[in-house]
Amino acid sequence: MRDNREKLARLLQGREGWRPEEQDGERFWCFGVDGAARLVVTPEMDGFLLYRADRDESWVIPRIELVEWLDANEAEHAGLTAVQVEFREALERVRASRKSSQAHT
């Protein structure tokens, strides 16, 4: 398992948008902007567990296939999620409302 953790780090640490994380002692890599985890890869005994958030599905994928899959699919997961966009727009409306209120005071 440790060997797969190291292989995963070598595969992903140079790829833009990927970051290592750890929760409850488990190490994994996440892909997404501003803390989003649109794709998550966790080392497993038989390869890597790939989680795809937009479909809420995961599967174990061998190392060689992981790189090919990422090359073909990673771009569609770049950028903000729909929730992040919605949150950003709501925040901008609140800020605009505050500026408008302050201008009338």
Sequence-distant (≥ 6) Cβ neighbours of residue 25 within 8 angstroms: none
Burial label, 51 (beta-carbon count in 10 A; 0-12, 13-18, 19+): middle
Give the distance between the most distant pair of CA atoms in the chain.
64
Cβ atoms of residues 41 and 50 within 8 Å: yes
Per-residue pLDDT, 36: 87
Mean pLDDT, consecutive 10-residue stretches, the chain (105 aa), reads: 84 91 93 90 92 94 86 83 80 85 73
Per-residue pLDDT, 1: 57
Per-residue pLDDT, 37: 92
* Residue 48 CB coordination number (10 Å): 24
Q: Is 0.85 surpassed by the pTM of this model?
A: no
Give me the residue spans of the domains in the chain.
2-78
